[in-house]
Structure 1
Amino acid sequence: MTLTEFRATVREWLADNLSGEFAGLRGLGGPGREHEAFDERLAWDRHLAAAGWTCPGWPVEHGGQGLDLDHRVAFHEEYAASGAPARVNHFGEELLGPTLIALGTPEQQARFLPRIKAVEELWCQGYSEPGAGSDLASVSTTATLDDSGDAAQWVLSGQKVWTSLAHVAQWCFVLARTEPGSRRHAGLSYLLVPMDQPGVEVRPIVQLTGGSEFNEVFFDGARTARDLVVGEVGGGWATAMRTLEFERGAATLGQQVGFRRELDALVELARSTGALEDPLLRERLARARLGLEVMRAHALRTIGSARDASVTKLVWATWHRSLGELAMAVRGAAGLVAPGDSLDEWQRLYLFSRADTIYGGSNEIQRNIIAERVLGLPREARP
């Protein structure tokens, strides 16, 4: 099927199916708004799965359509352009699934991939900690092997933070230190841990926007099977970095369609309020448009490149945070007052986009990675 035919097929299916019980889901969900119609969006994801539209980029032998990069980009762009709701299965489909396909054992693939594709099990990511945000090499959560029973198990102790959607997830992929006394990148392992068990406590973190999609997760004697390590025991750093590469893949092009929609709406707001007559605001809006075009061109040129993953994150996070600031400038004094007990869309954009340059690897960490691993500059002094 040609790319044009494929886009038409996706567009037609979405138009036909975003109707009836799903018609009211358009535009709902996404970062800062994951609380919106969550159960209904879960039902939508399962509807997608039944029609074969989940995991389209996975290899055919693992249940996907085996789409090439151009077709994957087309799918994500058409999905975003249709106004379809934000997916609830991102961590499973876009992060863990590809990691298991690349590095998992046949047994792990058979156990987890079909359930991810069918949206039967949801996942969260156990990376950041109170003392190890973007610096994952400082992870202190431990996992000790207990082989005293019939089946050996890893026993986890520690705390994760900023764990998105942990309160609705059945499983978590956790970066933990499995070699006592190890430091930095050495001695870490990538474990698959069930959330519904004694020894796992999830506490929501209330955000400035009023939502609580981020969580603290405490492991106090939580257990998982010995064979639920992805990659080598002690080689978790390499597995975790592979996951981060997948996080910044084809789906980011769909994300940029959403950015374009936000910018278009902001331009219309500026036009309707007269703010567009201000030459400084007009220039900032023009620069935002140019920045968006540069962002898309860069993504298309470098997608799938591990070397450029940090650049991609740095570019979109900084651009989107600036868009939130620009929205407040366009709103003017009216943007300082919330309507009733809730925020309007521009206030929510401003407040939540402050986090864009922090979660998923802070701007400071991305710059260090670019400087040290891409440009070969001297390492930053560390204690």
Structure 2
Amino acid sequence: MAFILRRPFAFSGTLRQLSKPSQSVTVRAFHQATPKPQSPNVFSQRTIAPSLSKSQHVFRATFRRNYQQAAYNPVAQGDLRQRLLFGAGIFGATLLGINLIFNRETREDGGMPAYEREYLNDTFMHTGLGVGIIGLAARQLHVSGWSFRLMAANPWLVLGLGLVGSIGTMYGCMATDPNNYVQKYTLWGAFNVTQAMLLSPLMFFQPALLARAGLYTAGMMGSLAFVGATAKQEKYLYLGGPLLAGVAIVAISGLAPLVLPVTAARTLAFTENIWLYGGLAVFGGFTLYDVQKVLHHARLAEQGVIRKDAVNESISLELDFLNIFIRMVQILSMSQNRRK
């Protein structure tokens, strides 16, 4: 679950390092000769050198960073159509590769029935709406200063309140009858707002980085959802048990920085890799499992065994999206820091 499988303060140390003032270096602007002390129109070097050198340092660092990014990503120099074609090519190649690897056995019933397609589309609609609510609420909370207060709070207190709020609203929503629309959607909205409260510190990152992470997450989940929807019936439902074991390992690795000392650098680096890349694999598998679970529930609902409840189905896909998105943000941030 998103509230326990991520690190709300994983990037707080980096933000604090970025906020430290850089040391000023006394550098003459144009290498001119030392002005004579008796000149009344020239200020002393002690007065103007620190501020002037600091401005030069900021300007040069900004220019160098922008120049390196432009040289590294030549596609960004093209027009909008070229960027869209480049993104569509990456998405198509990813979809084709995942389909060839995971979807060698397709459905044997001649395609997806109308009731399955309708239920799946309804679930995807609620998933997109929930992710949109989380994004807008997180942005509004960040603007109001909530992110600063959250990062300054005790991490154990944040974890405890996050567990109570997320588990309470999630299970309350799932336990509510789907015919009770008011209570159902109220608890569902509270669940989304709770996730936004815990995710608001992500807004400290650059909007371009968040947009890229969202695009990659949507591409990954879209490809896996397509595979799960077109694969053989109940092909990936067996993944439920192994994925629960994997998510437990990922959760433990995510809590390691709160327990292990800072001196255990190798252990922390190992747990970081498990949390990042192991989490991507686990929640990618959960996407396959959840999509096929939605189709399985659609068949049961058509037989009258259970009731249709797209809101409950969307919660699982929302958690998959959030966990993949958080890891994408951290991976892209680490890659960007290594280029500087």
The verdict on a shared fold, with TM-score over 0.5 as the criterion, is no
Question: Which structure shows the bigger proportion of residues in helix conformation?
Answer: 2
TM-score, structure 2 normalization: 0.28
Structure ranking higher in strand proportion: 1
Q: Which TM-score applies when normalising by structure 1?
A: 0.26
